[in-house]
Structure 1
Amino acid sequence: MKRSSAIRRAVLAAAAVALVVTGCTDRTGGSGGGSGGGGGTPQSPASASAPATGGSASDGSGGSDGKPSSPAPSSSSAAPSSPSSPSSPSSSAEALMKDGDENEQVRELQARLRQLDLFDRAPTGFYGSITGKSVAAFQKRRGLPVTSTVDAATWELLLSLTKEPTADELKPSTTNKLDTPDPRCMTGRVLCISKESRTLAWMIDGKVVSSFDVRFGSENTPTREGEFKVEWKAREWTSTIYHTPMPYSMFFSRGQAVHYSADFAARGYAGASHGCVNVRDRAKLAALFDQVKPGDKVVVHW
């Protein structure tokens, strides 16, 4: 019995250490300039207002029309079409693309809808409610059954009315359009972060002061959703796990933070964090960092 109790205590101690030594960084690992992550046991830097509690690199990331993932082959660049290929759909009414799908075919769908002014933001590769509404608008305009999903008939007609998207159309550097703010963002000082549009809006009493494109964690290391508070800030910080820089970090959930990412600035949505909210506009984030105070609200929502 004594030995069994000792083993249980050892397991619990190991689990506690694992919770402390975790964080977020770019999904490709710690290459120079990649997005960093909090975690570890911070040494209370002079620029921080409070010590970090660490974060989990295994839980938390983002989704909707903006959730990054490993690219899948585009339908336009795939091998010669077959009856099951998206570029040469069968007559089946089965959905080829639907809510929750995430791949390069969805990115192509969004780019083609954008050519018809039916998708008003940068393609993300994730099929969320915004994409569903755009597909429904296309179907209604063209006299197709309005299902908000892409079946063979919808895809075939869209292909015939649009051209193959260019690289710039598939992954433009344009600023993402803000969503309607979550109701929790309408009072007080709030970092209102939308996974649906991949945006961060700095709001005061319901008014948008500034906004940013953002990037979230991967499917395996998602950015947590919910209502939080800015726990502490660090103008200069380096991930204690991945040893990558995290300038202008504003920590809000056990090591997850809003911070500048050189990797995001360089590669855009081709990468992902390990849970943090990456920002690619360094100068703009520096100005925001000076405005945000510990205790300000953070809302991460779809």
Structure 2
Amino acid sequence: MRVSGYAGIVAAALAVLCGCTVQPPDGGDGKGHSPVRVEVPQGTPGGRTAPDGTAPASTPSAVETVPPHIVYTRGDTGTGVRELQARLRQVAWLHDGPTGTYDDLTTEAVEGFQGRRGLPRTGETDAVTWRRLVGMTHRPGKWELYLMGGQPAAAPDARCLTGRVLCISKTSRTLRWMIDGRTVSTMSVRFGTQYTPTREGVFHVYWKSRHHYSTLYHSPMPYAMFFSGGQAVHYSYDFAARGYAGGSHGCVNVRDEAAIADLFAQVRGGDKVVVSW
């Protein structure tokens, strides 16, 4: 007993002289207590520390209490919001748009999606909500992103670069109003269905009718600018309400009434119309 006690005293003295501390062999506190093991829940980055510098005690099933990162919220605009809206449409929580603006309808759709999946009904798209939505949907294509229009116009057809031209692209579903190669305005358009397709080619405006009404289809065609038989560029109430869910009987539909009213005032009889892919 004396030898072991003496050896302990010598070891302690040597440790002090070397600037070291003696570590208990079991990793405890030297008093027979085992070390405290703290579980950090999976998915908690880096094992966050509390304000006093200690690790938070939790279980693997504990819910992270740090506020989630907000991806999109009311008032945001842009292509990211458009993708969010397109994905919400895929799971039938949104029937409008996509418009590219995080409006009241989008907020309500996000709240509904969150509530159905047991998430906090904030109406804001946080990181958790976004990951859940992405996991349930596919990446939307161009047509899904621009169901209500707003897509960038295609490069103008070479036949549109001279004179006064209504330059219409089926690829981007847009109409450019051009004068001597300069784009004056651009608007989204809709075309005929497969049974009543919009004709392609080079035409000219031969008749303008501000308050036109189709006796054949029994529907209004305001701001009509006829270019090929009964086909015309005109405002469509149906296009404004349903977007690309419907189609025309061959006409080029415009959904922005203010834009086509301004266009109608500028276009003259004889102006060229180019409809191309």
Q: TM-score, normalised by structure 1?
A: 0.45
Report which structure shows greater RCO (CA 8 Å, sep ≥6).
Answer: 1
Q: TM-score, normalised by structure 2?
A: 0.49
- Larger strand proportion, structure 1 or 2? 2
